[in-house]
Amino acid sequence: MQIKNLSINFSTSGQIIHAVQDVNLNLDHAKITAIVGESGSGKSVTARAIMGLLEKNAIITSGQILHDDDFQFNSDAQKTQTVDLLTLSNKQMQKIRGKSIAMVFQDSFAYADPTMKIGYQVAESVRAHNPRLPKYEVKELVIQWLEKVGIKNARTRYNDYPHQFSGGQLQRILIAAALINSPKVLICDEPTTALDVTTQKVILELLKELSSQTDTKILFITHDIAVVANIADYVFVMQNGRVIEESRSIYNPKEAYTQQLLQIALNKQKINTLQIQEQNSQILTATGISVQYGKKHAVKNVSLSLHENEVLGIVGESGSGKTTLIKVISGILYAQKGDVNYHGVSVAKMSKSQKARFRQNVQMIFQNPNHSLDPRMKIEDIILEGVVNYNVVEKNAQTQYVKELLQKVHLDEKLATRYPHELSGGQKQRVSIARALATQCEILLCDEPTSALDVQTEFQILNLLREIQQETNLSIIFITHDINLITQYAHNIIVMHNGQIAGYGNTHEIIENPTDEYIVQLLESVPKLQVHQ
């Protein structure tokens, strides 16, 4: 398959966005080809164009997508020929989609019909292209493929519904559904982004294994350069709708942008040797925290302590209880068992004035920048909300205070009068940080503050947090699912698994000498770049 000079525009409310500009891709170089790029780089749009699944407001202005396969449009005998997919009608595309080109998407639950048995859903892609195949043969084929992608007891699980599978299992089933017709090309659009690292590793290995067994070519789309290094034999780097670089290996980039991406990824693998200074006192301790939802323990017997000017990382996969834990610490949620002490006073037994001081001193940064700022308020009002409530500065000094805070988080003063929707995700997250700092807090709770951001923006936000933490006497609890993210910054880390602590201690010790089996597994699963330069 070859893409030649592809350009796609989007028109939204009068504006024209050049989503893809003059893109040339060739999948003949290798079995697994990767496109790496940030959100908005045009990688997903390109994939959708191949499948003929573009939205209605997309206009293909130029280009060809050439694809070789044995087509049967005419009554001609089967023979291999090259066609331009962009010239085909929708009806003709339907014969290619799922048969000759298949796709696996990011959110597996969104692409599985919740009311349909999983076996039928896989069988559907067989029946769509081979309507005359007998039913029992289809079923046998489906079961065979389910076993191939590692679903145990495939024969009984054939009749299960999507919600009875985990995200990782469902993604495997969708891979089976995509590969069952032995397509020439399989497009994987961020297939592991919604999954935990341990599951991601399994899926990546499965894809590699399947590609070596069959002659299907894989086009793998991702934002994660470390994943690319582990799976792809050939890499295209996209930025702002253009392919800026292509090579056999990601390790020798020529473009500055790719070098920067690689450098950030390599930096993430560094482990700090920071120690907490001994004179720093404990400001917050939690002992024996347990939270139950019904019979299920979200958090079970967790204890931790936070020192002055400490960065404490809490690492865990989804469902490990890390968000519940931070909610207990922040005082939003009460734990059924256990106690949170702030400067030696139990939060549950605080007087009203102590509680107000606690509230002021413990602030939070949220995961989704689009949900954490009131869309109907101006930036300055957002920042001043806590200032007014806690009476931090005099009324006539407020404008100046907002300016100083915006400077501190490296934002333009002019943004003060804007609304959140006029800002980018990274800028919004900076406003969140400014809002928390405005109360002159002691403890900053960060709940995956960078997981909705691009790699570069993530890097900038983390640097900003570290800068502020070093300048002021701030203590930070940083929650993340990505253990790499925190090893450069945190003094101590806690690894959580199923609501319990799997490991707690100095970052360097935990990473270098993991004692717990789960941590070993977690560290092995994280996709790594080889350090050789």
Partner 1 sequence: MKLKHYLRHRRATVFWIVGFLLLVLTAFIGPFFVHGDSVTIVVDDRNSGPSWQHPFGTDNLGRDLLMRVLLGTQNSLIIAVIATIIQLVIGISYGSIMVFFGRRVDSFMMRLIEIITSLPDLLITMLLLIWLGNSFGAMLFALTVTAWCPTARQVRGLFLKFLNYDFVIAAQMLGSRLPKIIIKHLLPNIMSIIILDIAIAIPGYIFSEAGLSFLGVGLKSPDTSLGVLIQIGQSNIQIAPHELLIPGAILVFIVLAMNFIADAIRDVYDSRYQFLSKEDYAN
Interface residue list for partner 1 (CB under 8 A): 12-14, 17, 19, 39-40, 44, 330, 332, 356, 359-360, 362-364, 366-368, 370-377, 385-386, 389-390, 420-421, 424-425, 432, 435, 439
List the one residue out of 289, 308, 328, 307 whose CA is nearest residue 500.
289
Nearer to partner 1, 161 or 390 (CB): 390
Nearer to partner 1, 364 or 462 (CB): 364
Nearest distance, CB of residue 41 and partner 1, angstroms: 10
d(CA 54, CA 295): 46
Phi, psi values for residue 282, rounded to 5°: -75, 130
Residue 62: other Cβ atoms inside 10 A: 12
Question: Hey, what are 62's tokens?
Answer: 């130029």
Nearest distance, CB of residue 339 and partner 1, angstroms: 20
Nearer to partner 1, 386 or 503 (CB): 386
Nearer to partner 1, 346 or 370 (CB): 370
Nearer to partner 1, 329 or 335 (CB): 329
List the one residue out of 439, 441, 412, 417 whose CA is nearest residue 427.
412
Nearest distance, CB of residue 438 and partner 1, angstroms: 8
Nearest distance, CB of residue 377 and partner 1, angstroms: 8
Nearer to partner 1, 125 or 330 (CB): 330
Question: Hey, what are 510's tokens?
Answer: 């935990």
Nearest distance, CB of residue 455 and partner 1, angstroms: 15
d(CA 187, CA 457): 27
Nearer to partner 1, 158 or 342 (CB): 342
- 179 burial level (CB within 10 Å; 0-12, 13-18, 19+): buried
Nearest distance, CB of residue 289 and partner 1, angstroms: 19
Amino acid at 25: L
Helix H, strand E, coil C: the string for 265-332 is: HHHHCCCCCCCCCCCCCEEEEEEEEEEEECCEEEEEEEEEEEECCCEEEEEECCCCCHHHHHHHHHCC
Nearest distance, CB of residue 414 and partner 1, angstroms: 19
Nearer to partner 1, 48 or 99 (CB): 48
Residue 468: other Cβ atoms inside 10 A: 18
Nearest distance, CB of residue 359 and partner 1, angstroms: 6
Question: Is the CB of residue 479 less than 8 Å from the CB of residue 326?
Answer: yes
Amino acid at 379: I
Nearest distance, CB of residue 188 and partner 1, angstroms: 17
DSSP state of 376: T
Nearer to partner 1, 93 or 393 (CB): 393
Question: Is the CB of residue 220 less than 8 Å from the CB of residue 34?
Answer: yes
Question: Hey, what are 236's tokens?
Answer: 């295209």
Question: Is the CB of residue 313 less than 8 Å from the CB of residue 478?
Answer: yes
Phi, psi values for residue 259, rounded to 5°: -60, -40
Q: How many residues does the chain have?
A: 533
Nearer to partner 1, 10 or 109 (CB): 10
Strands 101-104 and 296-307: unpaired
Nearest distance, CB of residue 431 and partner 1, angstroms: 11
